[in-house]
């Protein structure tokens, strides 16, 4: 199809190829963006989205292919060149200095023509900042410290920063991943407004509903290759997923729920007062069940899990594990009772990245892999090998440093270290975040198998499909309170969403 248009492509990338040692990250990928268009870029993790965007942002040079910005060929050799071309990349992890105020952040690196010695004209900066802020609907004094802002407001500061350098192309990488639904709505409003101002927007997100709601067009990548484009009118969730995974998602994606009736309570939580929560939490996890925890970011699920795991101490209430009192003061105490946590942020809390797969696997259980405190490396390696085999972790060797593994395989290392220790209660906080579909399905299968073995699994998840697909029952939280516990029969997206957003539902109590 040759499209002759009076509206030339604002950006065109054609036949882009990028190789890294041992892997072709992008092969022959093309992408175009028009002014006043919202283009969503979709693909599983590892599909090449971030590499493509890093090329646009000037962090990588492509090995082959051409880029044209505003119709002119461009070689984006660095971040400053990208900026000069009017390309602004807003990272998932926001790049703001929390110790400076909004105006200082907006103009950071762009304070004026005078170099380092110039006097900052705060009055002018604040006035300009205020104008930019009103464009993104941020009604705060420009002198507000960024550390006081919510994540949603910080996002707006990033956008204002992009506008301050007259960006014509704004790339947003998972902007809603840590926003509340209200903040997301606000963001969408601003995105539409920018679109109307003829700015081109590349939107990267894993959330189907958002993508369908927002995009004019959707480009799908898979395994570093271009799969195709979908126009808004023709796009459906099923079509996108089919393009992303190369197959129709069937119900096999989630393993069938086991039919064994759940057993007696393993972990009974009674009035547990988590620091920062307005009231105590009460629920119990049964032997062989997967108890889902649904809620928005900030609803207090992770904090509750950390209290159960002994990272933070409860301010009140009691817990009972297998009939005996359970009040862990440290993770060690929890681990000694068979309660394990695979944390939400596995790089920060779950793994020692510069250490090997074997060393990470053995870390919580060194007593077993040592005699009189002396390391017993052969036994450590044997167990690590066994876990790598069981979970089918893709690693060249158990001596490989985990920093070199992909997200899915890193998560398997976290799981392996706990599975090697016979869990009683396994807490999985966002077990499949940032993991590709293949590894996801495998992790789901393992979870189902573990539940069948009689382990109680507490699963925190922000992925509604995952919550409904995997859980036997679901605890729904809102603003650090338990709003309801839904039994398996009444697990619908609608009922969970109602409770998650704080509305009460007469029938929700269980």
Partner 1 sequence: MRRELGIFVALFVMCVALFISNPDFLGQSNAMNTARQISMLGIYTIGIGFVIITGGIDLSIGSVVGLTGVIIAKFSSAAAGGMGLSLWIGIPVALGAALLIGLGQGLLITRLKLQPFIVTLGGMLLIRGISQTIVQGGTISFGNSPFLELANGGFLQVGGDPILPYPTLIFLVVIAVGTYVLHFTVFGRYVYAIGGNRDAAEYSGINVKRVETLTYVISAGLGGVAGVCYAAYIGQMSQQVGVAYELYAIAAAVLGGCSLRGGEGTVLGMIIGAGVMRVIDNGINMFQVRYEDADKVPRIWRLNANWTFIIIGAVILQAVVLDQVVHMVQAARRTRRAGAAAAASTGQKIEVAPPAKAG
Residue 117 vs 374, nearer CB to partner 1:
374
Residue 321 vs 470, nearer CB to partner 1:
321
Between the CA of residue 439 and those of 205, 406, 412, what are the distances in Å? Answer: 19, 10, 9
Rounded distance between C-alpha atoms, residue 466 and residue 432, angstroms: 9
- Contacts to partner 1 from residues 1-30, by CB under 8 A: 8, 10, 18-19, 21
Rounded distance between C-alpha atoms, residue 311 and residue 309, angstroms: 6
Residue 15: phi and psi, rounded to 5, are 50, 45
> Shortest distance, CB of residue 126 to partner 1, whole angstroms?
32
Rounded distance between C-alpha atoms, residue 175 and residue 93, angstroms: 9
> Shortest distance, CB of residue 347 to partner 1, whole angstroms?
8
The gap between the terminal CA atoms of the chain, to the nearest Å, is 57
- Contacts to partner 1 from residues 411-430, by CB under 8 A: 417
Rounded distance between C-alpha atoms, residue 93 and residue 178, angstroms: 10
> Shortest distance, CB of residue 197 to partner 1, whole angstroms?
16
Among 24, 30, 54, 63, binds partner 1 (CB under 8 A): 63
Residue 23: phi and psi, rounded to 5, are -150, 140
Q: Does 510 bind partner 1 (CB under 8 A)?
A: no
> Shortest distance, CB of residue 54 to partner 1, whole angstroms?
12
- Contacts to partner 1 from residues 367-406, by CB under 8 A: 367, 370, 373-375
Matching residue, tokens 């009140």:
316
For residues 325 to 354, the per-residue mask of contacts with partner 1, x marking binding by CB under 8 A and - elsewhere, is -----xxx-xxx----x-x----xxxxxxx
> Shortest distance, CB of residue 351 to partner 1, whole angstroms?
5
Q: Does 116 bind partner 1 (CB under 8 A)?
A: no
Q: Does 113 bind partner 1 (CB under 8 A)?
A: no
Would you say 473 and 445 are in contact if contact means Cβ atoms under 8 Å apart? no
Closest CA to 31 of 10, 45, 47: 10
> Shortest distance, CB of residue 404 to partner 1, whole angstroms?
14
Rounded distance between C-alpha atoms, residue 75 and residue 71, angstroms: 13
Which residues face 319 on adjacent strands? 269
Between the CA of residue 70 and those of 33, 169, 171, 201, 230, what are the distances in Å? Answer: 10, 10, 16, 14, 23
> Shortest distance, CB of residue 317 to partner 1, whole angstroms?
22
- Contacts to partner 1 from residues 283-322, by CB under 8 A: 309, 311
Q: Where along the sequence are the contacts to partner 1 (CB under 8 A)?
A: 8, 10, 18-19, 21, 60-66, 68-73, 75, 309, 311, 330-332, 334-336, 341, 343, 348-355, 359, 363-364, 366-367, 370, 373-375, 417
């Amino acid at each position: 199809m040759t499209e002759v248009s009076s509206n030339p492509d604002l950006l065109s990338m054609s036949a882009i190829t990028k190789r890294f040692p041992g892997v072709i990250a992008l092969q022959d990928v093309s992408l175009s963006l028009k002014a006043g268009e919202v283009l969503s870029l979709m693909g599983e993790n590892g599909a090449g989205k971030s590499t493509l965007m890093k090329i646009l942002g000037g962090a990588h040079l492509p090995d082959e292919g051409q880029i044209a910005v505003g119709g002119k060929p461009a070689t984006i050799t660095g971040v400053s060149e990208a900026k000069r071309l009017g390309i602004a990349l807003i990272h998932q992890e926001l790049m703001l200095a929390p110790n400076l105020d909004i105006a200082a952040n907006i103009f950071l690196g762009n304070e004026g023509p005078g170099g380092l010695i110039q006097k900052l004209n705060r009055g002018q900066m604040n006035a300009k900042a205020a104008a930019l802020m009103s464009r993104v609907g941020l009604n705060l004094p420009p002198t507000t410290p960024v550390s006081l802002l919510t994540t949603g407001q910080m996002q707006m500061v990033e956008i204002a920063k992009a506008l301050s350098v007259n960006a014509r192309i704004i790339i947003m990488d998972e902007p809603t991943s840590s926003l509340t639904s209200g903040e997301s709505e606000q963001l969408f409003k601003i995105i539409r407004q920018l679109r109307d101002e003829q700015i081109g927007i590349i939107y990267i997100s894993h959330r189907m509903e958002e993508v369908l709601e927002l995009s004019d067009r959707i480009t799908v990548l898979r395994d570093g290759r271009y799969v195709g484009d979908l126009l808004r009118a023709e796009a459906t969730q099923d079509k996108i997923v089919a393009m992303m995974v190369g197959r129709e998602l069937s119900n096999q994606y989630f393993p069938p729920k086991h039919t064994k009736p759940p057993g007696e309570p393993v972990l009974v939580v009674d009035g547990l007062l988590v620091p920062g929560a307005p009231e105590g939490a009460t629920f119990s996890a049964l032997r062989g069940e997967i108890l889902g925890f649904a809620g928005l970011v900030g609803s207090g699920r992770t904090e509750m899990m950390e209290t159960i795991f002994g990272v933070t101490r409860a301010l009140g209430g009691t817990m009972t594990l297998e009939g005996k009192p359970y009040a862990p003061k440290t993770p060690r105490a929890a681990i000694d009772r068979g309660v394990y946590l695979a944390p939400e942020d596995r790089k920060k809390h779950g793994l020692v990245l510069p250490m090997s797969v074997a060393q990470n696997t053995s870390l919580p259980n060194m007593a077993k892999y040592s005699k009189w405190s002396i390391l017993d490396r052969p036994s450590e390696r044997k167990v690590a090998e066994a876990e790598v085999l069981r979970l089918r972790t893709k690693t060249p060797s158990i001596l490989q440093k985990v920093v070199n593994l992909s997200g899915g395989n890193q998560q398997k290392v976290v799981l392996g270290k706990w599975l090697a220790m016979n869990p009683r209660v396994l807490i999985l906080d966002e077990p499949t975040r940032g993991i590709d579909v293949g590894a996801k399905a495998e992790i789901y299968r393992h979870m189902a198998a573990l539940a069948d073995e009689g382990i109680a699994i507490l699963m925190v998840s922000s992925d509604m499909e995952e919550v409904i697909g995997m859980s036997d029952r679901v605890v729904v939280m809102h603003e650090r309170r338990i709003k309801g516990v839904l039994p398996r029969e009444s697990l619908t997206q609608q009922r969970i969403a109602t409770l998650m957003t704080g509305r009460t539902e007469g029938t929700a109590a269980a």
